[in-house]
Structure 1
Amino acid sequence: MKNFDDYSMLSFERRGKVLTIKIDHAEGRNAVNDALHHELSRVFFDAQDDEESDVIVLTGVGKWFCAGGDMNWFQECIDSPAKWRRNVTIAKRITSSLLDVEKPVICRLNGAAAGLGASLALLCDITIAADTAVIGDPHVKMGLVAGDGGIISWPRLVGMARAKEMLLTGRMLSAAEAVALGLINHAVASHELDSKVDALADELASGATWAIRWTKTVMNLELKQSNVLTADAALGYETITNHMRHHQEAVCAFKEKRKPSFEPER
């Protein structure tokens, strides 16, 4: 059995052949900081190697699934180009390792998923949300290019036209809107979320393990190819925007609880 005791920002639960990975930084809205970013870059390798599980559930602790980047972490990455460069490499590991997992991964979308949180949810195989959850990729509202997975997931789920509208505006969607667009699979009442997720996880866990795993593997080939083709460019452009005034203004505005003022930047 794989031991997950060396994680601090993620917690784990077992139920038969189902391994649940919980983003466990509730006091910080499950937002991504250095520690969580690093742990997300290796947890899917460890989950793949875990011989005791055949199905993975990814969820958040508390009211949030994952709020995207932590504002203090954003500021650290503005102030330290070396920190940002390291995180670019880590970001590529997160998306590639999630796409490489052979086991089916169910997203239990318990609350808001933004930015990298949305990318994590949408790169899972099946997403089941509480009807109170919202999801979106507001990178542009933070003055950043959507470089950490949204570029490959959104167009394939909702089509290029809708994906452009969502990614260029950074708009958040309700769970019901996300289902209607085909972005996620199901939205259920909050009190029904566990039973819905557990029923699907049990169905998959009791199925033909290798047929299920390798059917997923083949279906992910196009996504993996797209990730390889676009990740460096997307993260490269995101690196440029990380050092521009608009991103700094967005971080300051968020901390000061005001609307950002994006003056023309040429």
Structure 2
Amino acid sequence: MTSAAPGDEVLHRIETGAISWITLNRPAAMNALTWENRERVIALLADASADPATRAVVLTATGKGFCAGADLRGGPAADGPAAGDRVAGDVARMIRLGAQRLITAVLDCEKPVIAAVNGTAAGIGAHLALACDLVIAAEPARFIEVFVRRGLVPDGGGAYLLPRLLGPQKAKELLFFGDAVPAVEAERLGLVNTVVPADALEATARAWAERLAQGPTRALALTKQLVNASLDGDRAAALAAEAAAQEINMTTADANEGVTSFVERRTPKYLGR
């Protein structure tokens, strides 16, 4: 099932096996995000969360770039007031309602989200990829914290995501210098899970997504919440959240199936409920 025409700037389809494919489709602009594109991606992630039939999401792009960041052709605040018209609070509001909403839409999606990074991921494009639960990068891919090159503070969660993935010292190196990180180096650092040849990217993403789509969807959602919150709270809060999550999970059909199949010594058949 598809909800976009080939000429649309964000393509969407639901594949057999309950996988939602979200594809940025502005190859001539290296898939730089406009306001409309951003809102479309946010809406599709919300739809994936709400639809019980959707059990995994793949976020990818067409052309040579994954996402070159925000479309700045209208200026640094392309979807906000012009510099001369801004008053105190305008920029912070624009960031909260724009870049930060996009990243939190990925982090809060109740289905596992795979980034299939086909090429350059820069600025908010890098953060969009790194916010995903699993990151598969094609060999030509690279990740660039371009904000410092423009005299800007990293937004869209960059200073939140990178220290959690890399530790503070390496995160500051990337954020301070803005050097490109090739895919192989990104894998070594732990920014991505695996690197594959460009022609194997889609097949690898599909194979991973199919495995996730066959899993216990609600348990995966709760696990995602626990891991994402684990670095933000203390041990007592983390353990309390873990116990509460398991309490909720034990009410699901998949948890019952998992235990029953173990007792009966057979492969479980999860339904995502």
After TM superposition, give the deviation of residue 217 of structure 1 in Å: 1.7
Q: Which residue of the partner structure matches residue 11 of structure 1? A: 11
Counterparts in 2 of 1:200 and 1:109: CA distance versus 1, 3 Å = same
* Unaligned ranges ≥5, structure 2: 234-273
Matched, 1:107 2:115: yes
Q: Which residue of the partner structure matches residue 30 of structure 1? A: 31
2:94 to 87, 92, 109: 87
Q: Alpha-carbon deviations, 1:59-93, whole Å to 9, x = none?
A: 11221110012231325455453785653222232
After TM superposition, give the deviation of residue 145 of structure 1 in Å: 0.2
Structure 2 distance, partners of 1:48, 1:4, is: 17
2:130 to 114, 118, 122: 122
Counterparts in 2 of 1:40 and 1:18: CA distance versus 1, 3 Å = closer
Q: Which protein has greater RCO, CA pairs closer than 8 Å, 6+ apart? A: 1
Does the Cα contact within 8 Å between 2:4 and 2:13 map onto a contact in 1?
no
Between 1:186-195 and 1:70-79, the stretch displaced more is 70-79
* Unaligned ranges ≥5, structure 1: 226-266
Q: Which residue of the partner structure matches residue 42 of structure 1? A: 43
- Identical-residue share of aligned pairs (%): 35
Counterparts in 2 of 1:1-266, with a 5 A limit? 4=3, 8-16=8-16, 17-74=18-75, 76=78, 78-79=82-83, 81=86, 84=91, 87-88=94-95, 89-222=97-230
Q: Which residue of the partner structure matches residue 236 of structure 1? A: none
Q: Alpha-carbon deviations, 1:181-213, whole Å to 9, x = none?
A: 111111111111122111111111111222222
Q: Which residue of the partner structure matches residue 240 of structure 2? A: none
Q: Alpha-carbon deviations, 1:83-116, whole Å to 9, x = none?
A: 8565322223212222111110000001110000
Does the Cα contact within 8 Å between 1:58 and 1:108 map onto a contact in 2?
yes
Does the Cα contact within 8 Å between 2:22 and 2:41 map onto a contact in 1?
no
Name which one, 1 or 2, has greater alpha-carbon Rg: 2
Structure (1/2) with the larger helix percentage: 1
Q: Alpha-carbon deviations, 1:162-192, whole Å to 9, x = none?
A: 0000011111110001001111111111111
Q: Which residue of the partner structure matches residue 238 of structure 1? A: none
Letter of the aligned partner of 1:21 in structure 2?
I
Structure 2 distance, partners of 1:53, 1:133, is: 28
Does the Cα contact within 8 Å between 1:42 and 1:94 map onto a contact in 2?
no
Does the Cα contact within 8 Å between 1:131 and 1:176 map onto a contact in 2?
yes
Structure 2 distance, partners of 1:223, 1:43, is: 27
The TM-score normalised by the length of structure 2 is 0.75
Does the Cα contact within 8 Å between 1:41 and 1:90 map onto a contact in 2?
no
Structure 2 distance, partners of 1:132, 1:153, is: 23
Q: What is the SS of the residue equivalent to 1:139?
A: helix
Q: What is the SS of the residue equivalent to 1:12?
A: strand
